[in-house]
Structure 1
């Protein structure tokens, strides 16, 4: 079935030229940031904070809906293959997310690979979550209704964070939203998931690009056997948050995201899984007027209504 031409055209406008990620990751990073630049300052309330972790600072940006209120919180981890993206390139996404969900959105500017390889990004996300859950007065947010959410690599970080939070027992994550998450450790032709072969060459995110991103993210080959690197390989998925997983029909990551949901469910967790028809990887960055984005927010809001 051919994909909607309007969606493909829009996503290409948000995308960038096909380049060798491993050789030109800085160029790739700059192209992504330019493609997602927020040219006009929107009408939203936002302010920046800094979280300190050992020898570095983790910037975060807080987006608030219009008006006063005791809003629940979405702790957001952006996508970009652990190599690209930042809180600036996700301004539009977070603005829309805050407005459409009536949640405060806290976006995390975690360290990027290959300058900072696994588990640096996860450590940053964990520290922000730990601070928010245990020292919420630092954000001046006195509300325990916190949901973690991420797209693509950010979905991977959210899933890994939930596993780490369970293991460390410093705080408890009650709910998570994973949008076309990367959960597995093999995206070559040897992958057990049909979507890698079916959608790995003719769409915006290729299987080769995923492999390149993961090579830049990992510190050693041993990382591929670490469930914090690839949550789907975990032998223990018990005591995980109530989970919403949203995948895209024409996404190479589709099957592993859905399989992660099934594995979570088999481990006794409450899980909802939705596949967005005619969706491509990255559709979440499109304007809310697109049907796929509108449906995605309808699903998210229904989930948040049930858990808050």
Structure 2
């Protein structure tokens, strides 16, 4: 699928970008070029040590910011597909710096879209988050806006789609490395005893990108079927001897997240591994058929139980 293709990854040194890079290099030996476009020179330095140019001459390393429309446009020339993973993601920092969050996550996304359209990129995928569903934080609102921009960008030459993910297990800044770091202190901060989050693995994340690249028509949102886990359960697994200190919800946090909004449900279909929110509504018959074809053990965990009951 990706042999002889040129790929451009914004935020290419992050968890998603580096995992996708590893996967495509292992799977497609005849790939043309992969451009890693990111603004953090230290992360690029560290990743370049893992992929030296002598062994991986197909990788292009570019320092750049998605806010810089001119540089983004220039460096995207010749790309066949774009993975847009660059974003401000740390929710408290976004709350403290809302203007910066909007410049990166909204204006930067608009720049990616315009550069892809101007360069006739065939496929562009936005990596989004469950925080975009009924958002209450500036981060969630900025990603919802980025999704809206993508959903309206496709034309006859360039297709745009979205993957919507939960928390990536073990990624930088997430609860897992935090609990590992402070677990030995004997006390873990828990915002709410009932708080839960959706988690996906790096494999689910990269598989979602490949699935979307293979099937996208433009204007859809693909969501891997993730499991919601209580934060207290994760804390017990990582630090079984630590006590829990309930610190209370912050104003930008929910007790639980949603993967699909009520407005999106009528446009949502599913298969064994993904929910797909389409740009137009599928028939009720097809929704019911897709849901009932699932293996019963898995179907018990899906959103369609609520839809069909």
Q: Give the structure-1-normalised TM-score.
A: 0.35
> What TM-score do the two structures reach when normalised by structure 2?
0.35
- Higher radius of gyration, 1 or 2: 2
Question: Which has the higher relative contact order, 1 or 2, with Cα contacts under 8 A spaced 6 or more apart?
Answer: 1
